[in-house]
Amino acid sequence: MTSIDLAPLPTMPDCRALRQDVRDFLAHALADRALPARARSWSAADPAFSRALGGKGWIGMTWPSAYGGGDASALERYVLVEELLAAGAPVAAHWFGDRQSGAMLLRYASEAVKAALLPRMAAGDLYFCIGMSEPGAGSDLAAIRTRATPVDGGWRVNGAKIWTSGAHLAHLMIALVRTGDGTDTRHDGLSQLIVDLKAPGVTVRPIVDQMGDSHFCEVFLDDVFVPADMLLGTPGDGWRQVNAELALERSGPERYLSSYPLIEAVIAALDDTADEALVAQVGHWAAQLWTLRQMSLSVAGKLAAGDDPMLEASLVKEVGARFEQEVPRALQAVWDGTGLADADGALHEALHFLLGASACFSLRGGTREVLRGIIARGLGLR
Ligand SMILES: Cc1cc2nc3c(=O)[nH]c(=O)nc-3n(C[C@H](O)[C@H](O)[C@H](O)COP(=O)(O)OP(=O)(O)OC[C@H]3O[C@@H](n4cnc5c(N)ncnc54)[C@H](O)[C@@H]3O)c2cc1C
């Protein structure tokens, strides 16, 4: 049986000054942000907040300074992201660009495209979304049907994407499309294109989720022209590229901190008379958080070293999503007996939101069953 290689942990640089800087910035920037809004975590967007963060050099901070980045290490970015998520900061506008699209551009885009896009992304002015899923092709991503046909100077794209987070705010989408001649196998003949969401033929329609929020969309592509230099990497190599991209989105702190603002609010409300079961629950959360952080950091170290830890990243996402979902459920189970101070009802409102919203934590970024399949295969069990 294959083992899961989560050790050794990377050496953390001394990030205390950075951590304090971020905390000071957030204490001011989020002073008026109430708990129910913070509970929306990384699905909430605020372009003004993103621009302020960009002004601090905290978007694309690992990118080379030649492209507007900060030449920082992946672990420094990890500290920044921990603080943003712990505070429930509205990061969604720049989130996908910072987490993965920027890295994809650095790996695969032409010099001219990198120079044109990355500095604007780092400034918090230009947002990306991820166009992988399609109606009928979610977990089975190789079933995508959106097709790009070569034309003079580029590609003509037809098809539809779905569940595209932030497409209503984004300027550009990295879309996985078919560019083969139709005789390819499922995994061949796929490519990644940067699609301008303001181009003629693009329609973006927000989807309202069960909590009444609209953070993801349908994107229809009807004869959309994409210039040749907006192809990322090598035509036909999209399957390999997209799988490496998925490892970037499955193992970060966002995979276990989505319910964290609720934990912090519970801790703030505890006093000497606190219910014993609740105190024990908080201890249980703290132990799980610590373990998840060690696992996630280990994957961050592997990613920074240029490895492709798909198995380990899937494990972090699966265990982390289970934790994020358990937090509101566990609080609900003890809520009536706790007598927690909640004069303005904010704690109750945040709990109500997370009980509903957390259903999607084990869907987004790859469903629970699919991740368990990857883990089982990685362990040689199937
Ligand atoms: C909040 C949210 C944000 C998202 N953002 C984006 C985004 O920005 N960009 C993007 O491209 N996509 C995004 N997605 C899509 C998400 O990654 C897909 O929903 C996911 O891949 C599932 O696809 P599907 O909805 O078509 O479900 P299906 O693939 O149809 O799955 C339905 C059910 O069948 C199960 N299933 C499917 N295949 C198997 C199998 N082989 N073995 C066992 N069980 C299986 C699944 O686990 C699931 O329970 C987002 C989804 C959510 C919920």
> Could you give the CA distance from residue 382 to residue 375 in angstroms, rounded to a whole number?
9
User: 165 CB under 6 A from ligand 1?
Assistant: yes
Asked whether residue 298 is domain-assigned, the answer is: yes
Instruction: Point out the domain boundary residue: 185, 213, 236.
Output: 236
User: 363 CB under 6 A from ligand 1?
Assistant: yes
Instruction: Point out the domain boundary residue: 104, 127, 150.
Output: 127
Q: Which residue has the tokens 């089975």?
A: 140
Q: CATH number for the domain including 213?
A: 2.40.110.10
How many domains is the chain built from? 3
364 CA → ligand 1 middle, Å: 7
Asked whether residue 366 is domain-assigned, the answer is: yes
Which tokens hold the place of 113?
């495209």
Q: Which atom of ligand 1 is nearest to the CA of 166?
A: 8
Give CA separation, 202 vs 133, 192, 221, in Å: 16, 17, 5
Instruction: Provide the residue range defining the domain that includes 179.
Output: 130-236
Instruction: Point out the domain boundary residue: 101, 127, 153.
Output: 127
- DSSP, collapsed to helix, strand or coil, labels residue 9 as coil
> Could you give the CA distance from residue 294 to residue 319 in angstroms, rounded to a whole number?
12
295 CA → ligand 1 middle, Å: 24
Which tokens hold the place of 262?
């609720």
Q: Which helix (H) or strand (E) holds 242?
A: helix 238-249
Q: Which atom of ligand 1 is nearest to the CA of 139?
A: 29
Report whether the peptide linkage leading into residue 8 is cis, meaning its omega lies within 30 degrees of zero: yes
- 216 and 256 in one domain? no
Asked whether residue 149 is domain-assigned, the answer is: yes
- 200 and 290 in one domain? no
Residue with CA nearest ligand 1 atom 43:
369
- Probe residue for ligand 1, chosen from 364, 374, 382 as the CB with the greatest number of ligand atoms within 8 Å: 364
Tell me: the pLDDT tens digits for 34-69?
999 999 999 999 999 999 999 999 999 999 999 999
> Per-residue confidence of the chain (382 residues) as pLDDT tens digits?
455 565 556 666 778 999 999 999 999 999 999 999 999 999 999 999 999 999 999 999 999 999 999 999 998 999 999 999 999 999 999 999 999 999 999 999 999 999 999 999 999 999 999 999 999 999 999 999 999 999 999 999 999 999 999 999 999 999 999 998 877 788 899 999 999 999 999 999 999 999 999 999 999 999 999 999 999 999 999 999 998 888 888 889 999 999 999 999 999 988 888 888 899 999 999 999 999 999 999 998 888 888 888 899 999 999 999 999 999 999 999 888 777 888 899 999 999 999 999 999 999 999 999 999 999 999 999 8
139 CA → ligand 1 middle, Å: 5
Burial state string for 257-287 with b = 16 or more CB within 10 A and e = fewer than 16: bbbbbbbebbeebeeeebeeebeebbeebee
Is the CB of residue 331 less than 8 Å from the CB of residue 261?
no
Give the per-residue pLDDT at 382: 85
- 138 and 94 in one domain? no
